[in-house]
Amino acid sequence: MTLTLTVSDDVRALAPGFTHVAVEAHGLVNGPSSEAGSALLDDAARRLAVRLNGRPPHEDPHMAAWRETYTAFGSKPSRTRNSAEALAKRALSGAGLPRINLLVDLYNAISVAHLIPVGGEDVDRIEGGMRLIRATGEEDFVTVAGGEETVEHPDAGEVVWRDDAGVTCRRWNWRQGPRTRLTERTTSGIFLLESLAPMPVAEVTAAAAELAELLAKFSPGADIAVRAPESSA
């Protein structure tokens, strides 16, 4: 079954250069972080360093475009960075990239290597389809603070991903909620790669193909489909 993904007209108007490519996979085998996944993260950090050639991540044209877009919907991009920039900063720091679980490590490696925000959601935990919208401020975002579950609400006008149960990711791709995240029990996932102009659509498509190959390698026999790019241009 194909998960429905929609982008609202007001988000398209806000970011006319937005493109997303989805990789949907069923029959996945997840588990703890492994040496192979760790090696992919280390290689991604090396690829990122070559790509940036000494520049900080926010000076990359693609990251600069995300910063402009975050500012346009009222977020401060130096405080709430898009997921790719946040990972890139960690990759280039002494802390290095986090190791979460195999599936998350795979998509984080693609995000860092290509400097593209990539998210992964457990299809079995999503209620209805997923929609990228500008929030009213009334939506629920269930998260964890201080070890306890708590409910937040996005700012009015904030760009969020949501399903029928509530917000799944705040500030476009800044913070994912725990309800739909990929765990070691996940067997079906939707992986979303998001780009803005000036990144060529061909590059985000190539990144999606690379992710699909990794998923197939680590989950032999999985049913994996790469959807055609959907653009706001």
The pLDDT, as a whole number, for residue 231 is: 85
110: Cα separation from own chain's centroid: 10
* Nearest CA-CA partner of 40 in 86, 103, 92, 83: 103
Question: For 141-178, what is each residue's pLDDT tens digit?
Answer: 999 888 889 999 999 999 999 999 999 999 999 999 99
Whether 95 has a pLDDT exceeding 90, the answer reads: no
Q: Which residues pair with 224 in a beta bridge?
A: 25
With residue 152 as reference, give the H or E element that holds it.
Answer: strand 148-152
161-197: burial string, b at 16+ Cβ within 10 Å, e else: bbbeebbbbbbbbbbbbebbbbeeebebbbbbbbbbb
Report whether pLDDT(232) > 80. Answer: no
- What is the distance between the alpha carbons of residues 52 and 50, in angstroms, rounded to a whole number? 6
Tokens linked to 71: 């500012």
Mean of pLDDT values over 6-31: 97
Residue 110 and residue 195 in contact, taking contact as beta carbons nearer than 8 Å: no
Q: Is the pLDDT of residue 25 over 80?
A: yes
User: What is the C-alpha separation between 215 and 189, in angstroms, rounded?
Assistant: 10
Q: What is the pLDDT of residue 1?
A: 59
pTM, entire model: 0.97
What is the pLDDT at residue 233?
A: 58
Helical spans, DSSP H, in the chain: 9-14, 35-52, 61-72, 83-92, 102-114, 201-218
Task: Determine which of 33-47, 140-154, 185-199 has the lowest per-residue pLDDT on average.
Answer: 140-154
